Amino acid sequence: MTTMATLASRSEIAAAAALLSAGGVVAFPTETVYGLGAEVSSPSAVKRIFEIKGRPFDHPLIVHIADSSKLQYWAEEVPEQAWLLAERFWPGPLTLILPRSRHIPENITGGQDTVGLRVPNHPVALALLNALSPEGALGAPSANRFGHVSPTTAAHVREELGDSVDMILEGGACEVGLESTIVGFEAQNSRKDPSRAIILRPGGIPLAALAEALNGNIAVAEKQNRTPRVPGALASHYAPATPLELWHGEYLPRRSLELELKGLNLGIVTWSDQFSAQLNHWRSSNVTRLSMPPEPEGYGRLLYATLRRLDNERLDCLLVEMPPDEPEWLAVVDRLRRASCNNIWIDVPKNFKDEAVHG
Ligand code: TXA
Ligand code: MG
């Protein structure tokens, strides 16, 4: 989705930095989704973030920093793999989970001894981070209420959080549209391979790119091993208010007919072109149909905005066509699965597990 929105001006960014330094709370754009930021050193501002979101206090915040030069200031220990990934993908949609240094207050990490760090790739976010004091950093979750769909425009933030935040910086529609990929490191016994990278949340960086950067020495966390401290890993998250069902394309027409016969108003979200036989019927019935781009980047960019739009139409149920069972689609499928109430559960694509992930 292109947008004509102008980016926040330099003086607005300076005003936002001043607010943050004084303990305020500011929503700002990143390339993934909009964040709700507080200076990590301001306990009252950090507390307000949890309160505004309705987020449990033990769910840690990602800390946003201006560049990787101070990684060792924020993290106690930085494994070589982490440096490699930081050099390759920052600024960008990647969060690294590292042992936290004494500069990270406990209220940021929900008492855990690790911290999530990321350098966002958005001119407004970078200008804001650079306008903070040299030891400044922003703890920032996505700027939505806990469990709801993340915002990908400033208007979404205004709609959802309104006056509860001190300022909202404009940055246009987010390029990536899905949250960052979260990578943690697991201690290994071998000296040669002291830690192994584990994807805790699929996101803006494709798995194949990470695997390539680390010579395949990366794995996707098994669902049951994902820490419950990753709220994005809760089974129901990123969810619209309207019930959403995820169906393989071949079952979708039957399910839609079933619900239409009950008199329900449906939203149908497809990506493939296999529904030509249904199109006329859907056009003439109580169905709002949207088709999504048939490739993962385009689909991911529009997903949250599409769910919000359909939520505003007060439909009874959303039926979503399951995307292809392929590694490039992992982040999109992950978010759809968590948004859905029928729990069609698919695993990490087999071919990726077998061919691209070693160890
Ligand atoms: O793209 C993004 O990551 C966006 C933008 C604003 O940067 N932020 C975002 O934040 O998605 P949030 O709070 O909605 O999700 C952050 C995820 C949570 O699932 C959180 O638990 C996890 O990061 N996380 C943060 N610190 C962690 C830690 N020390 N260990 C494990 N998970 C952590
Ligand atoms: Mg979130």
pTM as predicted: 0.91
Q: What pLDDT sits at residue 284?
A: 87
Per-residue pLDDT of the chain (359 residues; tens, 9 = 90+): 455 678 999 999 999 999 999 999 999 999 999 999 999 999 999 999 999 999 999 999 999 999 999 999 999 999 999 999 999 999 999 999 999 999 999 999 998 999 999 999 999 999 999 999 999 999 999 999 998 999 999 999 999 999 999 999 999 999 999 999 999 998 765 555 567 899 999 999 999 999 999 999 898 887 644 444 555 555 566 788 899 999 999 999 999 999 999 999 999 999 999 999 999 999 888 899 999 999 999 999 999 999 999 999 989 999 999 999 899 999 999 999 889 876 543 333 344 333 322 22
Q: Ligand 1 centroid to 288 CA: how many Å?
A: 33
140 lines ligand 1 (CB under 6 A): yes
- Looking at all shown ligands, the one closest to residue 37's CA atom is 1
Nearest atom within ligand 1 for CA of residue 109: 29
Of all protein residues, whose CA lies closest to atom 27 belonging to ligand 1?
116
Q: Please indicate whether residue 30, judged by its CB atom, sits closer than 6 Å to ligand 1.
A: yes
Cα of 172 to ligand 2 centre, how many Å? Answer: 19
Q: Which ligand places an atom closest to the C-alpha of 61?
A: 1
Which of 57, 182, 223, when mutated, tests ligand 1's pocket best, judged by the most ligand atoms within 8 Å of its CB?
Answer: 182
**Residue whose C-alpha is closest to residue 96's, from 180, 31, 160:** 180
pLDDT of residue 232: 56
Give the nearest ligand 1 atom to 59 CA. Answer: 21
